[in-house]
């Protein structure tokens, strides 16, 4: 099968996903650590640890890692661009090289995949987009608009280099995900032929993303996006992902991926789950009908991917589901069902209906205004209706400032709400 255009490759990717469970590659960072590289390999002591720069200074090493995973049997290779946004590269004074690094990294992955592609088994390139080092809901330090710009810049390079789809991965904050999607869509809007987008969240051992969202809330927050697949990676080994993958498979209309670490790291930072241990758990997930894509994150090596490549043909891919229901998400997930009624809606955070609230907003007492929301939450409001429609003020600015402050109220209530 000759894949000469983006449309050809997109069609081949979707067709392959409809027939079988595909295998993503293993950890790039683990493979690089195994190479025992020194400062000179990275381009100097100041750049040591910047894995992305290795595509310029040691492309042979990166290419060898791609080929090792392909030889092990993976279907999809990720670009070495996890920290490829200008925001992250700026920490090494490499922001100006974002285009060059992303394009070069993608061309290396593309070359490896083209070498291993056969007439009956194409190999695909996933343009890796990491979460950056800033989480809007947790660390701050960057605006939503700035994040969109950074993700747009990376999306451009990954596209020019020849990615088959974008993989927004290791996501810790849904607001960052939405910024990434908007950055990618901005690139498409400039006349570039769209390619698929996949998202992979990270659920920490405490059971939520770092910003507090559950997997159900994550799925609900992204229902409006036509994703290639939605899944989980990193954070834990596969066993700890069981409940989350089950919930995701039951809820999302997208395909589902599971890309775990080789267990949880020990006190020395070592990942101890063997290829057979990882494959055993993913086999159970696959036999339950939950999976479309499997692969390995931190601590996984070519041996892990080889075990998954042997497993994949034995699994039947999950069929996408269309479920008719009414769901909402803030930090938490809320499904509106008959047995939950009535659901209380707090409507006092409305400048049209509440003079008190309007006066607080006009006086820019946003902390006090947020207390109005908190009081309704404490009194069992499941949903908060926020209206800041005031023609005498900058409504968009007011909404942003209020929601930033009121976000804390979305973390301290007994029932889900929006």
* DSSP designation for 217: H
Q: How many CB atoms lie within 10 A of CB 363?
A: 10
Kindly give, in sequence order, each residue whose CB lies less than 8 Å from that of residue 276, ignoring residues fewer than 6 positions away.
Answer: 307
For 119-137, what is each residue's pLDDT tens digit? 899 999 999 999 999 998 8
For 35, 102, 242, 370, 382, the CA distances from 85, given in Å and listed in that order, are 25, 9, 32, 34, 37
Burial of 100 (0-12, 13-18, 19+ CB in 10 A): middle
Helix (H, G, I), strand (E, B) or coil at 390: coil
- Classify domain 6-314 at the CATH topology level: TIM Barrel (3.20.20)
For 177-220, what is each residue's pLDDT tens digit? 999 999 999 999 999 999 999 999 999 999 999 999 999 999 99
Alpha-carbon span 116 to 121, nearest angstrom: 9
CA torsion, points 272, 275, 276, 279, in degrees to nearest 10? Answer: 110
Residue 18's pLDDT band (boundaries 50, 70, 90)?
A: very high
40, two tokens: 């000179």
Alpha-carbon span 352 to 40, nearest angstrom: 63
Residue 337 pLDDT > 80, yes or no? no
Domain borders along the chain are 6-314, 342-411
């Amino acid at each position: 099968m000759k894949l000469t255009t983006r449309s050809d490759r997109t069609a081949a990717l979707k067709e392959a996903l409809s027939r079988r469970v595909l295998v993503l590659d293993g950890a790039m960072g683990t493979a690089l650590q195994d190479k025992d590289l020194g400062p000179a390999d990275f381009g100097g002591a100041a750049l040591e640890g910047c894995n992305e720069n290795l595509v310029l200074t040691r492309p042979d090493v990166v290419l060898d890692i791609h080929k090792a995973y392909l030889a092990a049997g993976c279907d999809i290779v990720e670009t070495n661009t996890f920290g490829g946004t200008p925001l992250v590269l700026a920490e090494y004074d490499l922001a100006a090289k974002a285009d060059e690094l992303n394009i070069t990294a993608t061309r290396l992955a593309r070359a490896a995949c083209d070498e291993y592609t056969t007439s009956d088994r194409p190999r695909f390139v996933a343009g890796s987009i990491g979460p950056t080092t800033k989480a809007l809901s947790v660390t701050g330090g960057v605006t939503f608009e700035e994040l969109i710009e950074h993700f747009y810049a990376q999306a451009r390079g990954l596209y020019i280099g020849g990615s088959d789809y974008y993989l927004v991965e290791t996501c810790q904050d849904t607001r960052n995900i939405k910024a990434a999607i908007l950055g990618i869509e901005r690139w498409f809007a400039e006349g570039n032929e769209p390619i698929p987008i996949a998202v992979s969240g990270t659920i920490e051992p405490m059971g939520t993303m770092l910003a507090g969202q559950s997997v159900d809330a994550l799925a609900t927050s992204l229902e409006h996006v036509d994703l290639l697949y939605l899944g989980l990676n990193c954070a834990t080994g596969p066993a700890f992902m069981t409940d989350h993958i089950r919930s995701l498979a039951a809820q999302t209309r997208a395909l589902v991926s599971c890309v775990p670490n080789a267990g949880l790291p020990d006190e020395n930072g070592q990942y101890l789950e063997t290829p057979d241990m990882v494959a055993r758990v993913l086999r159970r997930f696959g036999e339950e009908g939950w999976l479309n894509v499997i692969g390995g994150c931190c601590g996984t090596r070519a041996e892990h991917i080889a075990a998954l490549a042997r497993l994949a043909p034995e699994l039947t891919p999950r069929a996408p589901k269309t479920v008719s229901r009414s769901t909402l998400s803030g930090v938490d997930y809320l499904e509106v069902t008959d047995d939950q009624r009535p659901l209380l809606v707090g409507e006092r955070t409305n400048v049209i209906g509440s003079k008190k609230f309007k006066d607080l907003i006009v006086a820019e007492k946003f902390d006090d205004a947020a207390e109005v929301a908190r009081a309704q939450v404490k009194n069992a409001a499941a949903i908060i209706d926020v209206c800041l429609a005031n023609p005498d003020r900058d409504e968009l600015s007011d909404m942003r400032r209020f929601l930033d402050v009121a976000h804390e109220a979305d973390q301290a209530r007994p029932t889900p709400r929006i």
